Amino acid sequence: MGRSFNFSIVRLAPGGVRDERINVGLAIFREDGVDVRLPATLGKIRAISGALDQSAIRELAKAIDDRDTEIRTAGIDDPEARVRAIGNLGPIQLSELGTFQSNSLSEYEDRVAAIFRSIVDPEPASRTFRSKKSRLLTDLKKLLRSQRVLAKGDEDIRSHRIVSNYSLAEGLTADLALKNGVMHIVETVDVSSDDATARKAVSDIAVSALVLEQARINFGANGTKTRLVYSAMPTVETAAKTCLEAAEHQGAQLYNWASSADQISLIYSLSKLAIPRETAADRRRRLEQGDGARLKMA
């Protein structure tokens, strides 16, 4: 069994009315210190504000290491206690801890890179976003349509039904979206074909993670519920496990389409949130009840 490592997502949360936040790095809590990773460029912080100073953000991230050194010198070694003791450094926050395992330095770097790509720095993924076509998404929409909760072409998010290809930002489109109190965003990853590769799985999950993160930026962490539905060959699923766990750690609820229980849970949870489209029978019953009520009043 590989060695276990605890990690935390480094978040930039300037505060204010909009309560926006964005992931800017990764901190791995090792026995000998904290391994803080930041992307080569912090251009993504412009999603929150054009006035934020990248060099100041890097200095604050470096302060995580300095503060952790003080904490370990004081005899505090437990990773969770270290995260609590570090607290917030200005606008920098640390998420709750996640874990990954590795057997060697190269595997450690691979695991860190996979989490980094899917949660912190997925921008290199293709930005040629398209109306996604996959068997998984087709089947999912078919089931939602049978429940009368999939929006028609002339209906938008205000219909309180589930809309397809919901635009979040330029080049970023969610597979499915529903507005009911909060925004419910659903992304699908289908790598179930025989020619699917681990690289494609990681890439597709990274793109979906970027879409889900953009939704959280747009609507706030408390105003967004995210779901990631995946279908994968067993070998590919094993290779992509770290990315899936990273997406889950970020707040996405995972659904394995190969599981009947997961399918039922997903369709039920979405259907009960949406307003079903009225059938001809429903309309006739409503009109008859309205006529009956008017006759009683007369």
Type of residue numbered 114:
A
Choose between 149 and 90: higher pLDDT: 149
Q: Are 96 and 73 in contact (CB under 8 A)?
A: no
For residues 43-56, average pLDDT: 60
| pLDDT confidence of residue 196 | 81
Higher pLDDT, 296 or 265: 265
Q: Enter the tokens of residue 104.
A: 């060697």
Strand-pair partners of 182? 180
Q: What is this structure's pTM?
A: 0.60
Q: Is the pLDDT of residue 45 over 60?
A: no
* 3-class SS of residue 231: strand
Cα 293 to Cα 124, 169, 279, 282: the distances in Å are: 62, 48, 21, 16
Contact 79, 33 (CB under 8 A): no
Cβ distance 273 to 189 under 8 Å? no
Q: Is 51 exposed, middle or buried (0-12, 13-18, 19+ CB in 10 A)?
A: exposed
* Helix-helix angle 241-249:198-219, to 10 degrees: 10
Sign of the CA dihedral with 63 first, then 211, 110, and 44 last: negative
Token pair of 286, please?
């409503």
Q: CA distances (Å), 86 to each of 27, 93, 157, in order? A: 12, 9, 41
> With bands split at pLDDT 50, 70 and 90, how would you rate the model's confidence at 130?
low
Q: Residue 18: is its pLDDT beyond 60?
A: no
Distance CA 249, CA 268 (A): 23
List domains and CATH numbers for the chain. 3-120 (no CATH), 135-271 (3.40.1350)
266-286 tens-digit pLDDT: 999 999 999 998 877 767 776
Helix (H) or strand (E) holding 228: strand 224-232
- All residues at 6 or more sequence positions from 161 whose CB lies less than 8 Å from its CB, including other chains: 149, 150, 151, 155, 178, 274, 275, 277
How far apart (Å, rounded) are the C-alpha atoms in residues 9 and 23? Answer: 7
| Residue pair 290/296 in contact by the 8 Å Cβ criterion | no
Residues 6+ positions from 54 with CB-CB distance below 8 Å: 41, 42, 45
The tens digit of pLDDT for each residue in 20-36 reads 678 888 899 999 999 99
Say how many CA atoms lie within 13 Å of 26 toward its Cβ.
26
